[in-house]
């Protein structure tokens, strides 16, 4: 299911995606395709602009190996 996030003051699309969903620049194409007309709003999104984040753009959980300094 797609999520909807909303822009804050001064947000660019990549800032919004990074802050709300920890997504990088590789997700921009997928998000722009899911939001027709979003690019026409300009580099800085108007406050409150809804942005659909499709499941294909969602970040996969990152598995990190933890270090134990006492073993």
Residue 29 has pLDDT above 90, yes or no: yes
pLDDT at 36: 96
Q: Give domain status of residue 69, yes or no.
A: no
Q: Which residue has the higher pLDDT, 66 or 16?
A: 16
pLDDT band at 59 (very low <50, low <70, confident <90, very high): low
pLDDT at 9: 96
Domain range enclosing 45: 3-57
Query: Which one, of 16, 13, 54, 12, lies nearest residue 33 by Cα?
Result: 54
The domain tally of the chain equals: 1
For residues 22 and 20, what is the distance between their CA atoms, to the nearest angstrom? 6
Residue 71 has pLDDT above 70, yes or no: no
The two three-digit tokens of residue 11, written as one number = 């947000």
Residue 56 DSSP symbol: G
Q: Give domain status of residue 7, yes or no.
A: yes
For residues 12 and 60, what is the distance between their CA atoms, to the nearest angstrom? 22
Q: Give domain status of residue 67, yes or no.
A: no
Return the half-sphere exposure (C-beta side, CA atoms, 13 A cut-off) of residue 22: 4
């Amino acid at each position: 299911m797609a999520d909807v996030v909303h822009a804050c003051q001064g947000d660019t699309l990549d800032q919004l995606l990074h802050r709300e969903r920890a997504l990088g620049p590789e997700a921009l194409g997928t998000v722009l395709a899911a939001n027709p007309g979003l690019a026409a709003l300009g580099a800085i999104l108007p406050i409150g602009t809804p942005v659909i984040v499709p499941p294909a753009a969602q970040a996969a959980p990152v598995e990190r190996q933890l270090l134990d300094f006492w073993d």
